[in-house]
């Protein structure tokens, strides 16, 4: 019982620390993206990949934003992984989709990538490609000092006190944030069924 109490009290504390002014800035960026008919590319690895796929559905269905995630085309993603390495799968997909300055890259990640430790190299390469094309980058990360956090136009990160909570909190808060975004009256163009 003590663990559960600590887990949820720490989670609530993290939710209460979210900078709501950053949420509003992201909403405004997405409104502009929608107006100019740009594409929203969402990337993530592991649990964050599953979150990216789910978020694509919500942005498309509820907001009418042309969103996609390279992980949703499993055949292409794994073929690129096989032929060119996992670290190039996001980049090759984004190149084929002709990512450009009209678009937006959204990154879901726990650590955000670390070049020295060769962690989440695929995310790092995707961010570098996006920056080279003048694409704005928004990231939701567990750590603010990872590559994504340091190289995004806007980053929402956590300040978890206990390392055991970093991954579960980061992957749990990503859906809370994007559900807030797709529910926002400035963005939502179609109501949820329930």
In a domain, 193, yes or no: no
C-alpha–C-alpha distance, residues 100 and 98, integer Å: 6
Say if 26 falls within a structural domain: no
How far apart are the C-alpha atoms of 137 and 55, rounded to whole Å? 16
Contact 29, 154 (CB under 8 A): yes
Check residue 1 and give its pLDDT: 75
SS3 155: strand
pLDDT tens by residue, 7-22: 999 999 999 999 999 9
The predicted model gives 137-161 an average pLDDT of 96
Q: How deeply is 129 buried, as exposed, middle or buried, from its count of CB atoms within 10 A (0-12, 13-18, 19+)? A: middle
Any domain includes 25: no
Residue 14 lies in a domain: no
- 69 within a domain of the structure (yes/no): yes
Question: How confident is the model over 22-41, as a mean pLDDT?
Answer: 98
Task: Confirm whether 90 is domain-assigned.
Answer: yes
Q: Is the residue at 194 inside a domain?
A: no
> CATH code at 78?
3.40.50.10490
Tokens for 104, please give them: 């937006």
- Give the H/E segment covering residue 42: strand 40-44
pTM beyond 0.75, yes or no: yes
**pLDDT tens per residue across span 40-74:** 999 999 999 999 999 999 999 999 999 999 999 99
Q: Is 73 left (phi over 0), alpha (psi -120 to 50) or beta?
A: beta
Mean pLDDT over 143-172 rounds to 96
Does 16 map to a domain?
no
The domain in which residue 81 lies consists of 32-183
The number of distinct structural domains making up the chain is 1
Asked whether residue 161 carries a pLDDT value surpassing 90, the answer given is no
């Amino acid at each position: 019982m003590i663990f559960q109490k600590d887990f949820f009290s720490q989670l609530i504390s993290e939710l209460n620390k979210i900078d709501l002014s950053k949420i509003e800035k992201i909403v405004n960026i997405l409104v502009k993206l929608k107006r100019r008919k740009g594409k929203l590319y969402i990337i993530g690895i592991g649990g964050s990949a599953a979150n990216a796929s789910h978020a694509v559905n919500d942005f498309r269905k509820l907001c009418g934003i042309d969103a996609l995630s390279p992980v949703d085309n499993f055949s292409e993603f794994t073929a690129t992984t096989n032929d060119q390495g996992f670290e190039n799968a996001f980049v090759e997909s984004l190149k084929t989709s002709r990512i450009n300055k009209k678009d937006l890259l959204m990154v879901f990640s726990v650590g955000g990538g670390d070049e020295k430790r060769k962690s989440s190299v695929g995310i790092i390469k995707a961010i570098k490609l996006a920056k080279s094309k003048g694409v704005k980058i928004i990231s939701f990360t567990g750590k603010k000092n990872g590559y994504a956090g340091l190289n995004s136009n806007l980053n929402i990160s956590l300040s978890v006190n206990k390392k055991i909570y970093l991954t579960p909190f980061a992957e749990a808060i990503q859906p809370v944030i994007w559900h807030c975004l797709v529910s926002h009256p400035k963005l939502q163009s179609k109501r949820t069924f329930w």
